[in-house]
Amino acid sequence: MIEQTLVLIKPDGVQRGLIGEIIKRFEQRGLKIVGMKMIHVDKTFAGKHYTESITKKHGEKVRNYLLDYITSTPVIALTIQGSNAIALVRKIVGSTYPGEADIGTIRGDFAHVSKAYAKMKSQGHNLVHASENKEDAKKELALWFSIDEIHDYRLAAEEHFL
C-alpha cells in the first residue's frame, strides 16, 4: 500500500549537517520525497504539532522542552511516499531514545543519548520526528504541507520497488 508520512529533521540534525545523510537513508530504501521545505517554526505552530496529548503522555515539562527545541532553529519538513512508508520510515529512524536505537538506524548511527539522560535533562535530541501511524501521518501532513506543496512524479527506478 502506497502511503505518505511526515519526517522532520529537527534542529540537531540541521545544526550537525546531517540533512543530506538523513534524506539519503530514505531514498536508499526506495522511498520518494514528494514534499520538502525548510521552515522556522513559531510557538503557535509548534503547539499545533506538539499538542496537549504530549502533556498527558509525557508531562508538561517534556512538552515545553519540545516546543522550545523545535522553535530554536529551522527544521526540514519532508513528505515521504512509498510502499508501507510509515512503518518503513519508523524502522529507518530507529527507537525514540537514541541509546536504544539499533546500529544502522538514523538515531542509532548519529545520536547516543540514553533514555535516563534524556529524561533527566528533558532533552529530545533525537535528530528526526516521524509520524507514528496513519492517523498521525494524516494530521501532521495536513499541518505541515498544503496540497500545492506535494508533488507527484515517477522515479526512474520505481518500477523495481512497486
- C-alpha grid cell for residue 29? 530504501
For the chain, give the percent of residues with pLDDT over 70: 91
pLDDT band per the 50, 70, 90 thresholds, residue 124: low
155 assigned to some structural domain: no
Flag whether 157 is in a domain.
no
Residue at 49 is within a domain: yes
What are residue 8's DSSP bridge partners? 77, 129
Q: Cα-Cα-Cα-Cα dihedral of 94, 135, 122, 23, to 10°?
A: 40
Q: What total of structural domains would you count in the chain?
A: 1
Residue 72 is assigned to a structural domain of this protein: yes
Reading the block at residue 156, the C-alpha cell is 526512474
Least Cα distance to 151 among 23, 34, 19, 14 occurs for 34
- Whether 7 maps to a domain, the answer reads yes
What would the DSSP string read from start to end of 16-39? Answer: TT-HHHHHHHHHHTT-EEEEEEEE
Contact 115, 100 (CB under 8 A): yes
Assess if residue 115 is contained within a domain.
Answer: yes
pLDDT score at 159: 75
11-67 pLDDT, tens digit per residue, is 999 999 999 999 999 999 999 999 999 999 999 999 999 998 888 888 888 889 899
Q: Which CATH number is 119's domain given?
A: 3.30.70.141
Mean pLDDT score of the chain: 90
In a domain, 160, yes or no: no
- pLDDT interval class at 120 (50, 70, 90): low
One of 40, 58, 112, 129 is an active-site residue; which one? 129
Helix orientation angle between 19-28 and 85-93, rounded to the nearest 10 degrees: 130
Query: Does residue 151 have an active-site annotation?
Result: no
- Does 154 reside within a domain? no
Q: What is the pTM of this model?
A: 0.91
Domain that holds residue 43: 2-147
Task: Output the pLDDT for position 96.
Answer: 84
pLDDT of residue 121: 57
pLDDT in tens, 71-94: 999 999 999 999 999 999 999 999
Q: Return the percentage of the chain with pLDDT > 90, whole number.
A: 72
